[in-house]
Structure formats: C-alpha cells, structure tokens
C-alpha cells in the first residue's frame, strides 16, 4: 500500500512555511506525505482529511466538500469554540511539535484502514455491520439489531430466494412451528425505512412459495 496524501491549506504564512518545509522532507512519515493545495481543490477532490488554519476552516464550513476530518491548527484563539458541523474536527493548539501532529495523523490513518476493512462496499452504497448503517454520499440509515441480521443474511445469500422459515430460524433461532408474523413485521418495517430514507425501491422483494430476495444490483 502506498503513502496517503494529507493536503494542507493555510492563510497564515508562518504555518504555511513550516508545512512547506515539512512537505519537502521525504522522510517525515512512512504512512503519508503532505501536499499543499488550494481550497478550490477540495470541491473536486477525493480528499477525506485535511490540515488547515482557522481562516481556512471558516471558509470550508461555507463551501460544499466531502471531507470527513479536519486537523485544525489554532492560530487565532478559535480553539476554545464549539463547532456546529458534521465534520470531525481535531483541534491542535499553537505552539505544536511537528512530530506530534504527524503521529496523530498516522494513528488516524491506521484507524481508518481498520475501519475500512470491515465495511461492505457496493456500487452506490456502503454497509457498516458494526454501526448497522447503510449509506451513500447523501443519505444514511441505521438498522435495528434484528433488521441488520435480516439484511446481512439476505446479503450473504444474494441471487437466491430465502424462505421465511430459513430466515426466521437464522435470525431468531426458532423452530419451524413458530409463527412467521414477527418476521413479516420486521421485514415490512425494514423495507419501508429503506424506501423512505434511501429511496431504494424493491431492494428486498418477496415471492410467494419462494421467499425473500435481495436485489443487490441496486446497491
């Protein structure tokens, strides 16, 4: 696996000069290297993490980006404020040690790799079994525990119909004599939530005498 790119954008000239010097050092980290970019690049790039100062941070909050995490280096006292944003903001105070920042970024990349390996990725959507969340870039839906078990079992048996009895036994460990009403109620609620919140119609289908079928092609 190659090194990750961690872009940085500063309006503070002192901070910018420090990071430009670090950027020129090829051995600063084994996991990533810094890259100086323009704030406009964030609107069209695939960067998920960025290092900024407070002036740039304020501008990022006003523009549309797909960032997940910001390492915010305080240079104006903004560090004590709370930010109303869905982005994860890691606040770093001035003065700082460059090695400390690099270590924090490396630790973050390690955690991201661990997290990424457990995700189930499809063409449009991603499912995280640990948080029970199905999401794409614009929306997400968190399942209940039982809904997740139903969904995952259907995912594992794509391209085949799963009978009510098989699904009921897998999720609830019930015998064949148990009424299937509980399963039907859960699947109905799950289908409605998926259609309403994710606009995915006919993801989970049912055919009499055959059972349930998950249309993974639309994921």
Same domain for 109 and 38 = yes
pLDDT tens column, 112-151: 766 666 778 888 998 888 788 898 888 888 888 888 888 9
- Summarize pLDDT for 153-206 with one digit per residue, the tens: 888 887 788 888 888 877 776 554 557 788 888 899 999 999 999 988 889 989
- Quote the number of domains for the chain: 2
Judgement on whether residues 90 and 187 belong to the same structural domain of the protein: no
According to the model, what pLDDT value does residue 117 have? 62
82 lies in the same domain as 157: no
28 and 95, same structural domain?
A: yes
The DSSP code sequence of the chain is: --PEEEEEE-SSHHHHHHHHHHHT-TTS-SSEEEEE--GGGGGTS---EEEEEHHHHHHHHHS-----EEEEE-SSSGGGS----SSEEEEEPSS--HHHHHHHHHHHHHHHHHHHHT-EE-SS-EEETTTTEEE-SS-EEEPPHHHHHHHHHHHHTTTS-B-HHHHHHHHH---TTS-SHHHHHHHHHHHHHHHHHH--TTSEEEETTTEEEE-GGG-
Which CATH number characterizes residue 79's domain? 3.40.50.2300
Domain final position from 90, 117, 144: 117
Mean pLDDT of the chain: 83
Domain boundaries, position 46: 4-117
Is residue 167 domain-shared with residue 187, that is, in the same domain? yes
Check whether residue 103 and residue 15 sit in a common domain: yes
CATH (domain of 197): 1.10.10.10
């Amino acid at each position: 696996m190659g090194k990750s790119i961690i872009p940085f954008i500063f309006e503070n000239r002192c901070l910018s000069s420090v990071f430009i010097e670090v950027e020129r050092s090829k051995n600063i980290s084994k996991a990533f290297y810094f890259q100086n970019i323009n704030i406009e690049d964030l609107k069209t790039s695939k960067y998920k993490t960025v290092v900024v100062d407070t002036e740039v941070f304020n501008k990022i909050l006003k523009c549309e980006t797909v960032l997940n995490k910001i390492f915010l280096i305080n240079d104006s006292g903004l560090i004590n404020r709370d930010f109303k944003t869905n982005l994860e903001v890691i606040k770093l105070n001035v003065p700082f040690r460059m090695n400390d920042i690099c270590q924090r970024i490396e630790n973050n990349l390690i955690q991201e790799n661990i997290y990424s390996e457990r995700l189930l990725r499809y063409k449009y959507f991603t499912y995280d079994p640990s948080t029970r969340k199905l999401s794409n870039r614009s929306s997400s839906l968190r399942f209940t525990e039982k809904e997740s078990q139903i969904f995952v079992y259907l995912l594992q048996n794509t391209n085949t119909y799963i009978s009510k009895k098989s699904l009921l036994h897998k999720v609830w460990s019930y015998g064949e004599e148990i009424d299937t009403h509980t399963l039907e109620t859960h699947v109905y609620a799950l289908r409605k939530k998926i259609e309403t919140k994710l606009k995915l119609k006919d993801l989970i289908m049912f055919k009499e005498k055959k059972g349930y079928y998950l249309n993974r092609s639309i994921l």
